Structure 1
Amino acid sequence: MLRLFFEDSDGNVLKSGELLSVVLNIENDVPADSIAVTLPYDANLVLNVNTIAAKSGDTLVFRGLVDEIVSLCDEKQAIIKLTARSPAGLLLDNEAEPVTYYCPTSEFLCKKHLKPFGIEAQDADDTPLSNYFRIDKGMTHWQVIENFCKVHYGTTPCVDGDGKVFLKGRVRDRCLLFGKGGIDYVSIKESRKKCELISEVRVKIDRFGGYNSRIVNDSAEAGGAGSVRFMDATADTGGLKTADRIIENSNKKSYCIMLLCRECVVDAMGCKAKICDERFGNLENLVVQKVQYSLGKDGEFTALELGKEI
Structure 2
Amino acid sequence: MLRFEVSTSGGMLALPMPISVVYNSEFSVPADSITVEIPYISGCDDGDFLYGYDGERLVFKGQIDEITTQKSGEKITVVISVRSMAGILLDNEAEPCVYFNASSSVIFERHLKPFGFAEYVGDNEPYFGYVRISKGMSEWQVLENYCMNKYGKMPRITGDGRVILNGDAEGERLCFGIGGCSYTAVKSTIKRYKVVSEVKLRIKQENRYGSTIKNDLADKRLVKRRYVDALTGGGSVGTADRIIKNSNRNAYEVVLECPYRLNCEAGNRASIDDEILGKADGLYIHKLKYIANNRGEKTTVTLRKEI
TM-score, scaled to structure 1: 0.89
Q: Which moved further from structure 2: 250-259 or 178-187?
A: 178-187
Q: Deviations over 1:119-138 (max 9, x none)?
A: 243215333344x4333332
Q: Secondary structure of 1:267's match?
A: coil
Query: Which residue number in structure 1 is paired with residue 4 of structure 2?
Result: 4
Q: Secondary structure of 2:220's match?
A: helix
What one-letter code is carried by the residue in structure 1 that aligns with 2:28?
A: D
1:52-201 to structure 2, matched below 5 A, reads 52-119=50-117, 120-130=119-129, 132-172=130-170, 174-201=172-199
1:10-25 to structure 2, matched below 5 A, reads 12=12, 14-25=13-24
Structure 2: gaps (5+ residues): none
Task: Give, in whole Å, the separation in 2 of the partners of 1:104 and 1:19.
Answer: 45
Q: Which moved further from structure 2: 172-181 or 158-167?
A: 172-181
Task: Give, in whole Å, the separation in 2 of the partners of 1:278 and 1:190.
Answer: 13
What one-letter code is carried by the residue in structure 2 that aligns with 1:34?
A: S
Q: Secondary structure of 2:6's match?
A: strand
What one-letter code is carried by the residue in structure 2 that aligns with 1:19?
A: P
1:205-216 to structure 2, matched below 5 A, reads 205-206=203-204, 209-216=207-214
Q: Which moved further from structure 2: 157-166 or 257-266?
A: 157-166
TM-score, scaled to structure 2: 0.90
Q: Does 1:282 align with 2:279?
A: yes
Aligned match of 1:233 in 219, 230, 234? 230
Aligned length: 306
Q: Secondary structure of 1:224's match?
A: coil
Task: Give, in whole Å, the separation in 2 of the partners of 1:133 and 1:206.
Answer: 26
Task: Quote how far apart the aligned CAs of 1:207 are.
Answer: 5.1
Query: Which residue number in structure 2 is paired with residue 257 of structure 1?
Result: 254
Aligned match of 1:302 in 294, 299, 303? 299
Task: Give, in whole Å, the separation in 1 of the partners of 2:102 and 2:230.
Answer: 20
8 Å CA contact 2:3–2:15 kept in 1: the answer is no
Q: Deviations over 1:270-291 (max 9, x none)?
A: 2222222221122222111211
Identify if the C-alpha distance between structure 1 residues 206 and 91 changes in structure 2 by more than 3 Å, giving closer, same or farther. Answer: same
Task: Give, in whole Å, the separation in 2 of the partners of 1:192 and 1:172.
Answer: 28
8 Å CA contact 2:156–2:169 kept in 1: the answer is no
8 Å CA contact 2:127–2:149 kept in 1: the answer is no
8 Å CA contact 1:152–1:238 kept in 2: the answer is no
8 Å CA contact 1:204–1:210 kept in 2: the answer is yes
Alpha carbon RMSD of aligned pairs, Å?
2.3
Task: Give, in whole Å, the separation in 1 of the partners of 2:257 and 2:49.
Answer: 29
8 Å CA contact 1:175–1:272 kept in 2: the answer is yes
Task: Give, in whole Å, the separation in 1 of the partners of 2:99 and 2:201.
Answer: 26
Structure 1: gaps (5+ residues): none
Identify if the C-alpha distance between structure 1 residues 20 and 186 changes in structure 2 by more than 3 Å, giving closer, same or farther. Answer: same
Task: Give, in whole Å, the separation in 2 of the partners of 1:289 and 1:34.
Answer: 15
